[in-house]
Structure 1
Amino acid sequence: MSASIVVEASHSTHTEPRQRFVQCASPAGLHRVAYTEWGDPANPRVLLCVHGLTRSGRDFDEVARAFAGDYRVVCPDVVGRGLSDWLADARYYGVAQYVSDMVTLIARLNVETVDWFGTSMGGLIGMALGGLPNTPIRKMLLNDVGPHIEPVALERIRSYLGKPARFASLEEGVRHAAALAASFGPLTDDEWTRINTPLLHERDGAWTFRYDPDIAAPFSASTDEDHAAGEAFLWHSLASIETPVLVVRGESSDLLSRETVRQMVEKGQAVTSAEVPNAGHAPAFLAADQIAIARAFFLENNGSRA
């Protein structure tokens, strides 16, 4: 009986999140990156889940619970977001810095390889890291993102990114965040509350988003030439990835077109695809059928075309 109690207590501990921090560096100094960890901390099999532009690692709570029995699941708040520090110099908000931070995080985890679940910006970071020689990424799921981002989506992002927003209550902030992310899919009020509450905090008598408004600075300053160079780099990175990649597209995504997915499958070495109905940019992966797509890819096979 006592052995049973120990096992149950251990299992309970592994299905609850643990908050951790790792110190990283930019050319402007040091900063801390927060991450939430699930599962057995001694498990050498790691699933690294990286969120979108203004989101947080807590977007992956349901994914983490679903995988915690098989993986040590690690969900960072990318620098400038969530519980992570803000950079001293906003010029360094970009994929190069984020890749550097993820390499430092993987070193902290003390594992040789990771599987990667990247939503939107998290997928861009994954493509950049996955295309490097000796990459630690073993398998990668790209959630509604590719090397080419549709211009209409860039304009939509520009319309809200970094704009001041203050709310009289947490509930008002949650509703506003839900409106911005409406294309995630038909989520319930409880689901919106669970994934949006970590995005907000109370400061000076009002509720505001946790992300640094200055993450918009490099985005706003980028030129057409910058976008073209970045896209060319990502196509090259994707083509260099030898390990399995699954591209998941929301059926009505304004950011990732079916044509881009087709080209990713054609140009990649081991790229397959799936499409999620009743979702745009980006599928929330809260529903069981969406999580099943990820489980089939990471745990059952090398990914199969849907």
Structure 2
Amino acid sequence: MGTTHVRRTPEDRFENLPDYPFSPNYLEIDGGALGPLRMHYVDEGPRDGPVVLLLHGEPTWSYLYRKMIPPLAQSGFRVLAPDFIGFGKSDKISDRNAYSYLGHVDWMKEWTGKLGLRDITFFGQDWGGLIGLRLVAEMPELFARVMIGNTGLPTGDQDLGEAFKQWREFSQTTPTFNIGGIVSRGTARGMGDDVIAAYDAPFPEEDFKAGARAFPMLVPASPDDPAAPAQRAAWESLRKFEKPFLTCFSDKDMIMRGGEAVFKKLIPGAAGQEHFITENASHFLQEDAGPLLAEKLIAFATANDGK
């Protein structure tokens, strides 16, 4: 085993990114034996506005939300979009084994606590949902409402499917992990070279991508997965979650399509909500339909205000 390093992407990698004019904000969280880790987040809109928390997935970063942040902020929300450790402008750990599902949840809990967030409107996709829904389940008192798309909360008790197994294998074995290309292929409409480059920006060398390569292996795939007990406990909590819960899965996401059914069936707060399928959108629906999602999120938060 080589030495584990904490890597920090040089600032000049993030210069002149298209449609990402947001000032950086940083907060130090506990990295245990690695020392403090610096987490980056976007913080736009009025500081005293109602909080909207946007959590990205794999292998993206807060850049994914650039089409949603401005309309939300302009509508009076305080919009927070952090980069998970290992992604975006946040610190990266060079050893894949330094990442765990619980570690990511704990890092986000610490970040949420240090900012003193409450009455949160949460939007999550992909790993943003896997991590964010754990926060909702374990700290439901902090959340006012939830909106999710193209995500899940697997316990390891169900088969994850052949397509996901192929993705896991690819993520571990491909010599070069082409982040921007992976994101582009996960859209229905494709992305320009400048946007692909923006997704590549956080990762100047392969060892910066350890967190991105780790995520597929952290999805619970067997009943004895280390995360399985906490996942089952999260579902027990969510089965009691009565606050508004909205799904917006995509019509062209071949892996996650139909995944909304279990949430609509089991979560009490999903009853009576105006669930919708995001049309002409694939896995990264924020790329394909960001303005629409922002509009729907604003309407959702406004319609359910105070409930």
Q: Distance in 2 between matches of 1:218 and 1:252?
A: 21
State the number of aligned residues: 273
Amino acid at match of 1:136: L
Q: Secondary structure at the match of 1:194?
A: helix
Partner of 1:211: 209
- TM-superposed CA distance for 1:132, in Å, is 1.6
Q: 1:200 is matched with which residue?
A: 201
Paired residue for 2:120?
A: 114
State how far apart, in whole Å, the 2-side matches of 1:217 and 1:285 are.
21
Rate the CA distance shift 1:263–1:286 in 2: closer, same or farther, 3 A: closer
Residue identity opposite 1:137 in structure 2: F
The whole-number CA distance in structure 2 between the counterparts of 1:146 and 1:93 is 19
Residue in structure 2 matched with residue 157 of structure 1 by the alignment: 167
TM-score, with length taken from structure 2? 0.75
TM-score relative to the length of structure 1: 0.76
State, as a whole percentage, how many aligned pairs show the same letter: 19
Does the 8 Å CA contact 1:132/1:237 hold for their aligned counterparts?
A: yes
* Alpha-carbon distance, 1:158 to partner: 1.2
Note if 1:64 corresponds to 2:63.
no
CA separation of 1:23/1:224 partners in 2, compared to 1, >3 Å: closer, same or farther?
same
Matches of 1:160 and 1:220, distance apart in 2: 14
Q: Which amino acid aligns with 2:171?
A: L
Please report how far the alpha carbon of residue 254 of structure 1 lies from its aligned counterpart in structure 2 after TM superposition.
2.7
In proportion to residue count, which structure has more strand?
1
Shift of 1:295: 2.2
Gaps of 5+ in 2: 1-19
Superposed, 1:7-46 pairs within 5 Å as 16-28=21-33, 29-40=35-46, 42-46=47-51
RCO higher in structure (CA 8 A, sep ≥6): 2
Name the structure 1 match of 2:15: none
CA distance in 1, matches of 2:29, 2:183: 30
Quote the Cα distance in structure 2 between the aligned partners of 1:218 and 1:261.
20
Helix, strand or coil: the match of 1:284?
Answer: helix
2:286 equivalent to 1:276: no
- Stretches of structure 1 that go unaligned for 5 or more consecutive residues are 1-14, 167-172
Q: CA deviation at 1:113?
A: 2.7
Of residues 30-39 and 58-67 in structure 1, the stretch that sits farther from structure 2 once superposed is 30-39
Instruction: Give the C-alpha shift of residue 109 in structure 1.
Output: 2.6
How do residues 50-61 of structure 1 correspond to structure 2 at under 5 angstroms? 50-61=55-66
Q: Give the structure 2 partner of residue 294 of structure 1.
A: 297
DSSP 3-state at the match of 1:105: helix
Change (3 A) 1:159 1:66: farther
Distance 1:232 1:26, change over 3 A: same
